[in-house]
Amino acid sequence: MFGAFLNKSQHPAEVSHELHSVGLSGGLAASGEGEMEEVEEEVIFAREFSMPSRHTFSMPPVERLLDKWLDGQEVIVDPFAGQSARGTITNDLSLNSPAQSHMLADGFVEQLDVIADAVLFDPPYSPRQISECYQQVGMPCGKESTQSAALYKRVKDGLHKILRPGGIAICCGWNSVGFGITRGYELLEVLLVTHGAAHNDTIVTVERKS
């Protein structure tokens, strides 16, 4: 829903900087003698440039990542859809969004009765952005409403409940926390989207639920 904000004076062309892959997660495989031995699986790391946009999924590097990981996924839940049509079950608080529902994201995920193949998590990235979302729809917004860490946890917990084992979770934000190993997720890919000047990078993680 929110990436960095547009600054058209920066970087007139998209520049791609692919980084190396690093083995971070382990698994088991049969050796030549029929015994099981531990092997490393590679986590893909990449860094690419894109002009900043409040519509995260419209940035070309993120579009390519979504094309790759959402291919063949039939039920995709997006509680912060904004203007995106990537999800098959969508929500956004703003009435200007074409999303199917217009609820608070935590309430939206709690009432879902589906089994998802993939979930998307692209919330407002800061308390200020959360406050702006409330103000746009005329809802009161106190200090408790803008606690982003608490909001993120409630929505992630709700998405975790409906995501099938082996399902894909894609998170966007200013950190690479994702859904995490505590919930039982394997990290598959990390994309850093740099925007130049003093903009924060947009960080995208792709994980698989065990």
- Cα gap 59→175, rounded to integer Å: 18
Class at the top of the CATH hierarchy for domain 16-209: alpha beta
Residue ranges of domains in the chain: 16-209
* pLDDT for res 6: 37
Backbone angles phi, psi at 157, to 5 degrees: -60, -40
* Burial zone of 180 (CB within 10 Å; 0-12 exposed, 13-18 middle, 19+ buried): middle
Q: Report pLDDT for 102.
A: 96
Report whether 167 contacts 208 (CB < 8 A).
yes
Q: Which has the higher per-residue pLDDT, 125 or 38? A: 125
In this prediction, residue 30 carries a pLDDT of: 44
Mean pLDDT along residues 106-125: 96
| Digit-coded pLDDT (tens) for 1-49 | 544 433 333 443 444 444 545 554 454 444 445 554 554 579 999 999 9
Residue 142 confidence (pLDDT): 75
Specify the pLDDT at position 72.
98
| More confident of the two residues 138 and 102 | 102
Residues 45-63 have pLDDT tens digits of 999 999 999 999 999 999 9
Q: What is the average per-residue pLDDT within 164-179?
A: 97
Q: In the prediction, which pLDDT does 31 show? A: 41
Six token digits for residue 182: 């505590």
Write out pLDDT tens, residues 134-153.
777 777 777 776 678 898 99
DSSP state of 111: T
Phi and psi at 183, nearest 5°, equal -85, -5
